[in-house]
Amino acid sequence: IERIHEASLHILEEMGLELMSAEALDLLARAGAKVDRDSGRVRLDRHFVLEQVAKAPRSFTLHARNPARSVTIGGRHVAFCAVSSAPNCSDLDGGRRPGNFADFCNFLRLIQSLDIIHMAAGYPAEPIDLPPATRHLDAHYAFITLTDRVWQPSAIGPHRVNDGIAMNCIARGIGPDEMIARPGLMTVVNTNSPLRVDGPMLEGLMAMARMGQAVAVTPFTLAGAMAPASLAGALALQNAEALGVIAFAQLVRPGAPVLYGGFTSNVDMRTGAPAFGTPEYVRAAMAGGQLARRYGLPYRSSNACAANAVDAQAAYESEMSLWGAVMGGANLVKHGAGWMEGGLVASFEKMIVDAEMLQMMAEVLQPIEVSEETLALDAMREVGPGGHFFGAAHTLARYETAFYAPLLSDWRNFETWREAGALDAARRATGIWKRLLADYAPPPLDPAVDEALRDYVARRKAEGGVPAT
């Protein structure tokens, strides 16, 4: 870890980052950084970087409009998010299709229905049937009205961020000062590895940081493509980019909440396609957590897979990546449920499969309760040698609560399973997500707040939404 740390600081000092924003370059130049205006390259002194990074909080709370859904990020806490940013979606009955607003809303309804998904996070599937300039307004309104969880505005430029902040203030009945003091939004800022951050991402970051909202700085370092073909090299690059951008966020607003994001994986060297859930991905996820703790920063990781179908590959790749995130001490697991095809598809069935895995992981993370009651010595005396515990008083008292109850798994014997239709996990998942949608009820929302949100959306649409560039 220390050698990766030193290499990362060397990268920032010698090679620097290319920041494609004049405003960002101005801020860093005023802070004493070496700025090459012609290339956009900024070289950062190691002491400056570490001084800025040290200003970031070790933990923070994201406040949902329903206070019971607020989420603490950092420490020993872990929060699970749903899939986000997929351009396509799929289910077994409807097949694979471009993202659209109807499916977008159905994913939000599932998120609201699955308690193990703690945050709505970003767009589960991009609603490309809506106009790009105003799409975010409909998406924000859907986040607020269909869920009562923390959600994520797009960080592509400042306008979407500013609209998200304004609508979150309306939903929570607060003003800008309280929004800064009690943040309610988080977004992800990705670098364009290697060593580049584009203008819209930087503008979105600045808009979020100035208002005290959380940013997960996440380099996308694919070893063999956008990063060296070695884990040590890819992690050094990831660390350099993360530290450099986090330092910049603290320059914008000291104490702004940030997460150290790790998303290092590798490509298939035969095809160049991204691979996820690989041994390299898992090892990088664990190392990323060590690096984040080295700097006292909350850590973001992901549940990911490259599978094209909801099959065994999807399950084992996702389980591997999930274990990497958890063993790495991730405080936030992005793409926790529904991710397919390396992020190209949000799958309704995979949402249910992953929810089962997340629920099981949450149970695994619970400590074993050791007490007079759980040691069950009286039950052993009652049963005696050679007996069984099915009818013991201790068992009957715990019949419904003793063990994990599955959402998806079928533990019946073969004959009973066959008589019930012999459905595999993917087909059972279809029935579950459809049942959840049928039973869905929207969370309560004050009609006056709803009207204010509708008025805001209508006004911003009339203004044209995001200006053309």
Taking the C-alpha atoms of residue 178 and residue 189, their distance in angstroms, rounded to an integer, is 24
Mean pLDDT of the chain: 98
Residues above pLDDT 90, as percent of the chain: 99
Statement to judge: residues 65 and 170 lie in one domain: yes
Q: What is the pLDDT of residue 427?
A: 98
Residue at which a domain ends, from 364, 397, 429: 364
Statement to judge: residues 148 and 18 lie in one domain: no
Burial 265-288 (b: 16+ CB within 10 A, else e): bbbeeeeeebbbbbebbbebbbbb
Taking the C-alpha atoms of residue 169 and residue 275, their distance in angstroms, rounded to an integer, is 39
Is 315 inside a domain boundary? Answer: yes
Q: What is the pLDDT of residue 79?
A: 98
What average pLDDT does this structure show over 429-452? Answer: 99
How far from the centroid of its chain's Cα atoms is residue 358's Cα? 13
pLDDT band at 469 (very low <50, low <70, confident <90, very high): confident
Decide if 328 contacts 286 (C-beta within 8 A). yes
Is 343 inside a domain boundary? Answer: yes
Q: Which domain holds residue 203?
A: 59-364
Statement to judge: residues 40 and 185 lie in one domain: no
Is 377 inside a domain boundary? Answer: no
Taking the C-alpha atoms of residue 108 and residue 196, their distance in angstroms, rounded to an integer, is 33
Residues above pLDDT 70, as percent of the chain: 100
What average pLDDT does this structure show over 381-390? Answer: 96
Is 427 inside a domain boundary? Answer: no
The values of phi and psi at residue 88, to 5°, are: -130, 165
Residue-wise pLDDT for 299-309, tens only, equals 999 999 999 99
Question: 42-48: long-range contacts at Cβ-Cβ below 8 A with a sequence spacing of 24 or more?
Answer: 42/16, 42/17, 42/18, 42/244, 43/12, 43/13, 43/14, 43/15, 43/16, 44/12, 44/13, 44/16, 44/17, 44/244, 44/247, 45/13, 46/9, 46/12, 46/13, 48/247
Q: What is the pLDDT of residue 468?
A: 85
Is 171 inside a domain boundary? Answer: yes
Statement to judge: residues 34 and 144 lie in one domain: no
pLDDT band at 264 (very low <50, low <70, confident <90, very high): very high
CATH number, residue 111: 3.20.20.480
pLDDT band at 243 (very low <50, low <70, confident <90, very high): very high
pLDDT at 204 over 90: yes
Statement to judge: residues 44 and 69 lie in one domain: no
Q: What is the pTM of this model?
A: 0.96
Is 92 inside a domain boundary? Answer: yes
Statement to judge: residues 129 and 32 lie in one domain: no
Statement to judge: residues 44 and 64 lie in one domain: no
The DSSP letter of residue 130 is S
Residue at which a domain ends, from 313, 333, 364: 364
Number of domains in the chain: 2
Half-sphere exposure of 142 (CA within 13 A, CB side): 27
Statement to judge: residues 292 and 158 lie in one domain: yes
Half-sphere exposure of 225 (CA within 13 A, CB side): 16
Question: Amino acid identity, residue 464?
Answer: G
**First-to-final CA distance of the chain:** 42
